[in-house]
Amino acid sequence: MGAAELIQQALDVRDKSLAAIEPPLDLACLPTPLPKNVTHLAKDVLSEEELEITGLDALELLDAIRVKKYTCVAVAKAFLRRAALAQELLNCTTELLPEMALQRAAYLDSLGHPLGPLHGLPISIKEHHGMVNGTNHASFVARIKSPQPSPSGVNDVLWEAGAVFYVRTTQPQCIMHLETSSNIYGTTLNPHNLDLTPGGSSGGESALISFRGSVLGVGGDIGGSIRCPAANCGIYGIKPTPGRLSRHGASAGVKGQDGIAGTHGPMSTTRSGIELFMETYISYSPWIKDTGLVPLPWRQVTLQPRLKIAFMWSDDIVTPHPPVTRALKEVYTALQQYPDRFELVDWKPSGHDTCWDITQALYYEDGGRAVRKEITEAGETVMPLTEWLLTDGGNIKYRTVEEVWDLKVRRNAYRDFYNDLWLSTGSEDGHPVDAILSPVGPGPAPPHGNAKYWSYTSQWNMLEYAAVAFPVTTVDVKLDVKDTNYVPKNEKDKFNWDLYEPEAYVNAPVGLQIITRRWEDEKCLAILKEVERAMGRE
C-alpha cells in the first residue's frame, strides 16, 4: 500500500469518528472567512449547557459530577462536541473516541460510588502515547497500520483512577518539531491566532486545551514539547523529571534512543489541573509495573520562608522578543512587592550553546539514518523542520560506538558543571537559588515553519531538571514595540529578531517557565503557586 493510500486510511478513521458525533455540529453559523482568533466561536455552535460544562476546570468538573449536577455521559458528550469543533477550526485531532467514551461514561454513572479520584473526567491523549485497541503511528506514514505495541503505563493508571478517554491529538512528523505538522494530517493551528503555530510536538494537545476542547491532557517532552505548546497557547504544562511518569506503550521517534530522556507530562487549563494529574498518577505507585520508574511518592514540600528566584533574561545566544522580556519584567515587578517572600537575583547562563550541540547530537546518534529510512521508504517526504533538525549546525552525523560514548561523557560532564553552577549561587549565604524563571522560547508562538530555536527548553531536558510553563500575558502591539536598532549577536539571533513584527503576533499568548533541579517536581509546582499568588492569582 502506497503513502497516499495509507494517509487516506488514517484520515478516514478521523473523519468517521467526527461523523459519529451526536448531535452533528451546525457549522453554517461560523463566519466566513474565519477570524484569526477563534477562541470565542464555540458560543456560536454549542448549547448553553455544553458551554457551561466545557467552561469548568478539572477540579470543578469532578465536583459537579460528584454532586450529580452533571452525569458523566453529559460531560463526555459536551467535550466530544467541543473537541469536534476544535478539529474543524484547528486540525488538532487524529480521532475522536465517541463509542468508547460514552460507554465508559455510562458505566461510571451506573456505579454507586466514585471509581477513583478522576471519576468521569475527560482526558485527551497525544496520539503516539497509544490507546487500547488502537493504532499508534507517531505521525510516520510507515506506522499508520501499526497496532498499539503494549499497554500504556500512563493511560492504564488514569483509567484505573476513573478517567474517560475521548480524543487523541496530533503531533508532527517523527515527533521532533516545536510545531505540529505532518504529511498525514497537515498543520495544526493556534486558536489565538491561526497564522501562528500552537507549538510542538504536543501542539494538538495545546490547541485543543486552549480552545477548551479539553481541560486536562497528556503530552510529551524531549526538547520542549510540552512547555513550548503550553506557552504558545496560554495554558499550563509540566515536564517532570524523567523517571517519574511511565513511557510504556508509547511509540518513539527513534527506538532505543536514550541519550536524552523524554518524558510524558500533563497539560491543562489550570495549575490545579497539573497538580491533580501528578498527585493522582503517582499515588498509584506506577513503579510497581514499570521498573524504569523511581519509587518516589508525591511529597508535600515545605518551601523556604524566603524563596531565592533567579531570573534568566536571556541565554546570551538568542535575545527574546519584546513581549517575552515584558512578561519577565511583569513577574519580576510582582515578586518585588514581597521582599519578605522573594529574593530576586539574575541567572548567569553558561555554556548553553555547548549544551545544545551535545543534545542535538544525542537525539540522532546514527546521524538520522533510521528516521530518514523510515520516512522515505514509506514514500513520504522529509518535511522542512525535520530536515532542519537533522542538518542544522552539523551536530548530527553517524557516529561510532566510541564516539557515542564520548558524547555521553561530555553530556555527564556538562551536567556536573551546571550542578556546580547552581550550587555556587549559595556560596555567600548558604542558600542556592530555589528556581530559575526563564523564557520558554525566544518569542511568542512563531509563524508556521519558523520554530528553529530550542535551547530555552532543551537545556533543561539534557540536565533532566523539572520545569513548568505558565501563562503570563498576551502580545500588546502598543507596548511590545520592536527595537529597530538592535544588532543581533549571531545568525540564530538575527533569524529570530527578524521574525518579530508586532502586528503578526496579535493575541499571541506569552508564557514563562519555572525550573527546579532533578526530582524537585513537587517544589517546582509549589514555587509556581507562590509566584502566581504574588501575581494576584489564587
Q: Which residues are catalytic, by number?
A: 126, 201, 225
Long-range contacts of 357-361 (CB under 8 A, 24+ apart): 357/393, 357/395, 358/407, 358/410, 358/411, 358/414, 358/462, 359/223, 359/260, 359/411, 359/458, 359/459, 359/461, 359/462, 360/389, 360/392, 360/393, 360/395, 360/396, 361/395, 361/396, 361/397, 361/399, 361/407
For 242-380, list the strands marked E by DSSP.
Answer: 263-268, 307-311, 342-346
Are 396 and 361 a contacting pair, CB within 8 Å?
Answer: yes
Rounded to whole angstroms, the Cα distance separating 268 from 33 reads: 29
Rounded to whole angstroms, the Cα distance separating 365 from 279 reads: 35
Rounded to whole angstroms, the Cα distance separating 64 from 373 reads: 50
Are 443 and 502 a contacting pair, CB within 8 Å?
Answer: no
C-alpha cell at 356: 545544545
Rounded to whole angstroms, the Cα distance separating 168 from 125 reads: 5
216-221 and 263-268 strand pairing: antiparallel
Rounded to whole angstroms, the Cα distance separating 530 from 341 reads: 9
Rounded to whole angstroms, the Cα distance separating 492 from 114 reads: 53
DSSP bridge pairs for 218: 125, 266
253 Rama sector, left if φ>0, alpha if ψ -120 to 50, beta otherwise: alpha
C-alpha cell at 340: 519578605
Rounded to whole angstroms, the Cα distance separating 211 from 191 reads: 6
